[in-house]
Chain A
Amino acid sequence: MSSKVLIEVADLNFAYPDRPKVLNNFNLTWRAEERIGLAGPNGVGKSTLLFLIMGLLKAQSGVIEIFGKQRREEKDFQAIRPQMGFVFQDANDQLFCPTVADDLAFGPLNLGLGHDEIHRIVERVLARLGLMGFEHRVTYDLSGGEKKLVAIGSALSLNPRLLILDEPTANLDPVTVARLEGVLAESGLPYLVVSHDHEFLDRVTTRRLEIRPNLS
């Protein structure tokens, strides 16, 4: 018997207004234990696919099923977004609070958790990332690698059921990449990660998915 399906995408079609189609009848089945690596040339539509899955863009046609339910409208996605830790390609888009602690607390605050619990979450996430003592650092003063780690932390602080990461290794040195791999492994979560670094994908994923340019 097959294991539980986290996300099922069927016959997805998407084009930006007045532009050629980016996704043409795209299909994807993501099972519970899978760690998927998503690769493909620049501009092929990887980030676009992730935005569609998060409900940040609307497909022209096709079905998106997440956690066993079809998701169509903003309301459907609102309920499940916090359960899908999404890490943006550019950490500056994600970290918008003045300090690291504020940023890690943003998600839990939206979930309505109490102050003490949020404090514990912030501490735990920082420890997990090896960023103890960074609570009151100003987010824009962090290095690119630190920003990326905090951005991942801001997804982890939601206590999600899965992670979706858009090119997390871009601009990171090998040491920080290794740290990132540790964080991913320790999370114990299934994840989908976009990367152009094939060796990285070989190390951290169980399945490779290649998006080919849409030639139609």
Chain B
Amino acid sequence: MTCDLHPGSSFLHQLDPRLKIVIVAIWSFLAALIQTLPAASFALAGSLLFALAGRLSPRETLTRLVKVNAFLLVIWFLIPFSFSMPGRTVGSFGFFTVTAEGLQLALLLTLKANAVALGALAFFGTSSVTQLAAAAHRLGASEKITAIFLLMLRYFHVIRQEYVRLRLAMKVRAFRPTFSLHTYRSYANLVGMLMVRSMDRAGRVHAAMLCRGYTGRFWFYDHFSFTRLDLAGVALAILLVAGVLVLNVI
């Protein structure tokens, strides 16, 4: 797990992270409202434009989108068959009938979901987590939540490493999981040990923070400024949002 999904210095990388959060929020909200196929296609095209502007790596982006679409597979299995309104029948498999309306709805949902996912990837993948956390804080997210988010990111990895190390330590001592009480007890010990260590570490991390002048307030090392580039970003976003709205009405 890395923090900067796509390091670089593209147009999107240079946008103010606060603006990015706002744009993604509006863009996602808008996508949720879309009712027509042309508007949904346009939104997806817009997200693709964002992805290009952020110079996302095609391979990684596709891998992530595949995961999103795996969820959508369920929709394709259910909706075309289960449309209850009287619709035009496209075909039937035995007891089940497929309606045109059902297919359309499934396609609409797929386009919308991909537009949201790709848009979020383009904006959030081009800022560091710290920047986003600091920006969210500036936008009013509470200090505690933001700090928890950052610390979680940092220590998720440490605890995972600890888990892997403990698993290896078990392995080199000839541990092989079976359906036995010994196996369950060993796993319970493993989980217990992980929790105790995490507690312990939390104590030491807190001590380390105290040593560096922490008094209960979490400060963020970032300063944002709204530049001309951000204005261009706003203009682009407004243009695309308007496009979606117009297409959604016609």
Instruction: Give the B-binding residues of A (Cβ under 8 A).
Output: 51, 54, 56, 78, 81-82, 84, 86, 88, 90, 92-94, 96-99, 101-102, 105-107, 109-111, 115, 118, 136, 138-141, 154-155, 158
Q: In the bound complex, what is the Cα–Cα distance between A101 and B3 (angstroms)?
A: 14
For residues 124 through 173 of chain B, which have their beta carbon under 8 Å from a beta carbon of chain A?
A: 128-130, 150-151, 153-155, 157-158, 161
Beta-carbon contact of A138 and B208 below 8 Å: no
Q: Indicate whether A81 sits within 8 Å of B213 (C-beta atoms), given known contacts A96-B205, A118-B221, A140-B154.
A: yes
Chain A residue at minimal CB-CB distance from B214: A110
CB–CB B213/A102 < 8 A: no
Q: Which of A56, A109, A138 has a CB less than 8 Å from the CB of B219?
A: A109
Q: Does B204 contact A (CB under 8 A)?
A: yes
A98-B154, A102-B221 are known contacts. Are A86 and B211 too (CB-CB below 8 A)? yes
Identify which of A90, A97, A99, A110 contacts B215 (C-beta below 8 A). A110
A62 to B214, CA, bound (A): 26
- Measured between beta carbons, the chain A residues less than 8 angstroms from B220 are 109
**A102 adjacent to B205 (CB under 8 Å):** no
Contacts of B7 in A (CB 8 A): 136
What is the size, in residues, of chain B's interface with A at 8 Å between Cβ atoms? 32
Question: Which of B130, B151, B208 interacts with A99 by CB under 8 Å?
Answer: B130
The reply to whether A158 and B157 contact each other, CB–CB distance below 8 Å, is no
Are B209 and A82 interface neighbours, CB within 8 A? Answer: no
Residue of B nearest to A105 (CB): B221
Q: Determine whether the beta carbon of B153 is less than 8 Å from that of A98.
A: yes
Cβ of A93: which chain B residues have Cβ within 8 Å of it?
201, 204-205, 207-208
B150 neighbours in A (Cβ, 8 Å)? 97-98
Using Cβ atoms and an 8 Å threshold, which residues of chain A touch B129?
Answer: 98
**How far, in whole Å, are A84 and B212 apart by their CA atoms in the complex?**
9
Q: Which of A51, A82, A136 contacts B212 (CB 8 A)?
A: A82
Q: CB-CB < 8 A to B2: which residues of A?
A: 138, 141
Is B154 in contact with A96, judged by CB distance below 8 angstroms? yes
Flag if A106 contacts B212 (CB, 8 Å). Answer: yes
Query: Which residue in chain B gives the minimum CB-CB distance to A119?
Result: B221
Q: Which residue of B lies closest to A74 (CB)?
A: B210
Smallest Cβ-Cβ distance to B7: which chain A residue: A136
A186 CB to nearest B CB, Å:
21
Closest residue of B by beta carbon distance from A56: B207
A96 touches B151 (CB 8 A): yes
Report the bound CA distance from A155 to B220 in whole Å: 18
